[in-house]
Amino acid sequence: MEQHDSFQLAKYSALTWNAPLSEHHASSLLKHLDLANATRIVDLGCGWGELLLRAAFEAGPSSQAIGVDTDPVVLARENATPKTAGWGASSDTRAMLEHLATVVPKGKVLIGDTCWERSPTEAAVAIFGEEIPRLSDVVVFSRQAGWKVMHVSTADTREWDDFESGHRAGPRGWLLENQGDPRAPDIEAEQNRREDEYQTVYRGVLSFAYLVLAR
């Protein structure tokens, strides 16, 4: 496994998963996936594989679980077993849903995708780009790609606050332990900048949609 320095490893250390997702919400999504009879579970963009491991537990010991991610840092987290690879993911939601339909001709999928909770300001579009859809668009694109929409939910503000705080807490814990590191001032400034951006630009504006889809 590739070696990473202590800062890279600390980056995600305060997060359970790399998404705005509470324990309760995660359990509910797994319930909607109805994994009791699943024989194979594939997680595309699995991070360090926490949700995949829980899905595999629900499916039982005879199921096969495969995780794929492109980021070697998330794969370096302790206990992570997924493989480094890309799968042609697209930042375009419609293209992703159409591509997913070719990968899963029959079965259930859970997708997680950023979307606007309310009309974005220019500052929010400048950060996240023009291609972020509204939740209603994600639902329509799903149907147009031939999926049956089985369940729709979004991350709430508490889940976003926990997620954003978790992204700060790992680096800030590292800063407390490594105050003399030459990178510390830049890391501190970057954490403060990102925190301010969340608080002033996209808190309550950007959402994260979870859709359980079937075909």
Ligand X SMILES: C[S@@+](CC[C@H](N)C(=O)[O-])C[C@H]1O[C@@H](n2cnc3c(N)ncnc32)[C@H](O)[C@@H]1O
Give the closest residue to 132 by CA, choosing from 45, 21, 210, 207: 207
CA distance 105 to 82: 23
| Choice between 48 and 141, CB closer to ligand X | 48
**19-55 as b/e, with b when 16 or more CB fall inside 10 Å?**
bbbeeebbeebbebbebeebeebbbbbbbbbbbbbbb
Does 72 contact ligand X by CB under 6 A? Answer: no
* 8 Å CB contact between 163 and 155: yes
* 8 Å CB contact between 210 and 111: yes
| Choice between 76 and 89, CB closer to ligand X | 89
Q: Which of 72, 86, 146, 185 is close enough to bind ligand X by CB under 6 A?
A: 86
| Choice between 19 and 211, CB closer to ligand X | 19
How many chain residues touch ligand X (CB under 6 A)?
17
* Type and span of the H or E element at 66: strand 64-69
| Choice between 111 and 175, CB closer to ligand X | 111
Residue 127 corresponds to which tokens in the numbers above? Answer: 């950060």
Does 46 contact ligand X by CB under 6 A? Answer: yes
Closest contact distance (angstroms) between CB of 181 and ligand X is: 25
| Choice between 24 and 122, CB closer to ligand X | 24
Q: For residues 132-191, which are near ligand X according to CB under 6 A? A: none
Q: Which of 27, 64, 87, 186 is close enough to bind ligand X by CB under 6 A?
A: 87
> Which residues of this protein are in contact with ligand X, per CB under 6 A?
17-19, 44-47, 50-51, 68-71, 74, 86-87, 89
